[in-house]
């Protein structure tokens, strides 16, 4: 298991700007996913009512691309189909994986977990039908996610915080750390990919970063989140939320923090994809606690 920690800053017991790269599969089917740490645990919700998260977690820096789906399909026969982007700039391997239903995204996430020996996040019965977990196995009142899952689809609050929040607790209107409309671009590392572009950009070339360091949460492709429309994850086929806008929307309103859509979890939108989230890395957390203890000991020595 490969961990790359770019920067670890200790302030009391708080880690910031942490980047983790996870490796999955083997041989020709090996691939990696890069995550950034979403800190500032225990923040209050935005005025929209979204974004309160009591814990630190890790969010995929980029949207899941077509190559990752192809390799997971090849590894274990997931059978996930993708939308043909031939008329939208081509089916490059680093384009966002779109045309994926919520159920297919959940099955991909399950593969991430089980391929490493972790608990599957989502419950599909022997016939492949999605079911909710029992209260003993669910993550609190979230009956979609297993309490022991390592990788998962971000909840609406997790997604919202990673997109519009910042380490200092400030909220922004757009997922590029701006309160004014970002310029519409076809690709690059500034602005956002929207404005009726001819197609999506590669996931690592999809506009400016959020304050926490994610890319493309505004524009490029809509993204499924884990949460149901009513905010109560307890019914198998209830509509799921998706957020963030896409390359084909004309105005920036769909990219803004107050805007979301919902649809049935079977829907496969041509510009609808997803990204993956992850719990904090236990070894990093141990390192953090050890570092905090060293820091506190040093402070005591100075006082003595």
Cβ(258)–Cβ(228) below 8 Å: no
- pLDDT on residue 69: 98
Give residue for tokens 């391929």.
115
Mean pLDDT of 214-240: 97
Q: Which of 100, 52, 96 is nearest to 207 (CA)?
A: 96
**Residue 250: which of 198, 196, 199 has the closest Cα?**
196
Per residue in 55-66, pLDDT (tens digit) is 999 999 999 999
Q: Greatest CA separation found in the chain? A: 70
- Which pLDDT belongs to residue 18? 79
CATH topology of domain 60-284: 3.90.1580
pLDDT band at 87 (very low <50, low <70, confident <90, very high): very high
More confidently predicted of 13 and 268: 268
Distance in angstroms (rounded) separating the CA atoms of residues 140 and 133: 11
pLDDT tens-place string over residues 162-205: 999 999 999 999 999 999 999 999 999 999 999 999 999 999 99
Tokens of 67: 């190559």
Q: How confident is the model at residue 280 (pLDDT cuts 50, 70, 90)?
A: confident
What's the pLDDT at 281?
Answer: 55
Q: What is the pTM of this model?
A: 0.88
Instruction: Give 146-149 contacts, CB < 8 A, sequence gap 24+.
Output: 146/119, 146/120, 146/121, 146/122, 148/118, 148/119, 149/113, 149/118, 149/119, 149/120, 149/121, 149/279
Domain residue ranges in the chain: 60-284
């Amino acid at each position: 298991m490969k961990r790359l920690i770019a920067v670890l800053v200790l302030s009391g017991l708080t880690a910031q700007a942490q980047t983790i790269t996870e490796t999955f599969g083997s041989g020709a089917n090996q691939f990696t996913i890069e995550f950034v740490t979403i800190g500032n645990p225990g923040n209050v919700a935005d005025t929209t009512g979204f974004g309160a998260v009591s814990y630190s977690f890790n969010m995929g820096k980029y949207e899941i691309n077509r190559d990752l789906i192809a390799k997971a399909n090849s590894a274990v026969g997931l059978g996930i189909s993708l939308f043909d982007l031939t008329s939208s700039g081509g089916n490059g391997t680093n384009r966002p994986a779109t045309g994926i239903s919520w159920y297919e995204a959940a099955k991909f996430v399950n593969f991430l977990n089980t391929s490493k020996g972790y608990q599957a996040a989502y419950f599909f019965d022997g016939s492949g039908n999605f079911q909710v977990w029992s209260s003993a196995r669910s993550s609190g009142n979230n009956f979609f996610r297993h309490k022991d899952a390592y990788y998962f689809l971000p909840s609406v609050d997790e997604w919202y915080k990673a997109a519009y929040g910042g380490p200092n607790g400030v909220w922004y209107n757009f997922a590029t750390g701006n309160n004014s409309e970002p310029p519409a671009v076809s690709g690059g590392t500034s602005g956002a990919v929207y404005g009726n572009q001819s197609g999506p950009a590669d996931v690592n070339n999809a506009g400016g970063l959020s304050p926490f360091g994610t890319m493309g949460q505004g524009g490029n492709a809509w993204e499924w989140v884990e949460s149901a429309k009513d905010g109560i994850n307890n019914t198998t086929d209830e509509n799921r939320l998706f957020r963030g806008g896409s390359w084909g929307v004309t105005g920036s309103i769909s990219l803004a923090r107050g805007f979301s859509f919902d649809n049935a979890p079977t829907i496969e939108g041509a510009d609808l994809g997803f990204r993956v989230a992850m719990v904090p890395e236990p070894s990093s957390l141990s390192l953090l606690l050890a570092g905090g203890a060293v820091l506190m000991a040093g402070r005591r020595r100075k006082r003595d």
